[in-house]
Amino acid sequence: MDTKNKMINIQNCMHEAGFKLTPQRHAIVKVLLDHHQEHLSAEEIYVELLRVSAAFGLATVYRTLDILTSLNLLTRVSFEDGVARYDLRTEDPAHFHHHLVCTQCGKTVEIHEDLLGDVEKVVLRQYHFQVSDHRLTFLGLCQDCQNSNLLESG
């Protein structure tokens, strides 16, 4: 799905729930779409918005992020630094993608492979817990950091 269709999709979801995609909200969603691999915090989204328009405040950003989160279009994530970050879920609303987080440089990569269906079945069978979704973050070293570590030690 391209950015334009994702925007239309988000607009439709908001309309169904009785929310308008106002110009401010549109600008916020645009930042989220343009930077979706970066897992921006509310403050970072606000800084991006200031580049295009200074016409609204941080409270509007928080309010919009809350609406999108309540509609399950956005998920709050936090990695090693503990900062609340925002992650659009435009691919599959029923499954949140997984993350690889490098503990050396902090880079975050999204992965969409999923082998956890079997684990979810075990959870249901053994714990009688009905799983609706899961979060998975792998901590480790990215390829770049592995290479630079090799260079340093060699």
Q: Given the rule CB under 5 A, which residues bind Zn ion?
A: 87, 102, 104-105, 107, 110, 114, 116, 142, 145
C-beta of residue 12 within 8 angstroms of C-beta of residue 20: no
How many Cβ atoms from other residues are within 10 Å of residue 107's Cβ? 14
User: CB of 144: closest distance to Zn ion in angstroms?
Assistant: 5
Residue 3 or 22 having the CB closest to Zn ion = 3
Residue 24 or 148 having the CB closest to Zn ion = 148
User: CB of 124: closest distance to Zn ion in angstroms?
Assistant: 15
Residue 22 or 72 having the CB closest to Zn ion = 72
CA atoms 44, 50, 52, 54: torsion sign: positive
Q: Give the separation between CA 80 and CA 102, rounded to whole angstroms.
A: 9
